[in-house]
Amino acid sequence: MRADAQKNYDRLLTVARDVVSEQGADASLRDVARRADVGLGTLYRHFPTREALIEALLRADVDELTAKAADLEVSSTPEDALLTWLRGCVALNHEYRGVSALFTAALEDTGSALHDSCVALHDIGARLLDRAHATGVARPTVDGTDLFALVAALAWLYDQPSLAPRADHLFDVIATAILPTHQHTGFPE
């Protein structure tokens, strides 16, 4: 990549982080280009779709959680490890408003820039779940893809202004569906 192109790419990502933080996943792309002092076509050249832009915004964070989760497998009890993974995933799906649908789609869409990262995160989650299955603390009917779906649904709940105050409680309710013996995740009630 040419030096000027690289500079534009970086600036677009930096500005997009702000704009998507403010406006959510349906932020104005024109606004991103404008604030980055870049032509509209330059934005489209680097990020052919809105999804490509937001996926680029999220990718590093997904990989970070995957790495952290690999540690959890050896350092925590099956139950604690799974709960920490779940909380991290919810936080990821809630990093910007309205991105949980994108995460949900990326897991299956091989064309997504987030696909490989999501599969890796899914796989480590499934491993943590299997460990919990083996020790009998996790409900057997729940599988790794269910986890991803429930996490996305929870992030959606956090996105709803009227539900945000109850969201931590609802996390506990759903966590209990996955880990029936579990009582409380440590979130304030």
Partner DNA sequence: ACCTGAACACCGTTCAAGT
Pick one of 20, 36, 151, 157: the residue that binds a second copy (CB under 8 A).
157
Positive or negative: CA dihedral 175, 178, 183, 186: negative
Report the C-alpha gap between 180 and 139 in whole angstroms.
7
Binding mask 55-94 toward a second copy (x if CB under 8 A, else -) reads: ----------------------------------------
Residues 131-150 that bind a second copy (CB under 8 A): 139, 141-142, 145-146, 149-150
Residues 27-66 that bind DNA (CB under 7 A): 27-31, 37-42, 44-46, 48-50
Q: Find the largest Cα–Cα distance for the chain.
A: 57
Pick one of 75, 169, 181, 187: the residue that binds a second copy (CB under 8 A).
169
Residues that bind DNA (CB under 7 A): 1-2, 4-5, 8, 27-31, 37-42, 44-46, 48-50
Which residue ranges make up the site for a second copy (CB under 8 A)?
101, 104-105, 107-109, 139, 141-142, 145-146, 149-150, 152-154, 156-157, 160-163, 166, 169-170, 172-174, 176-178, 180
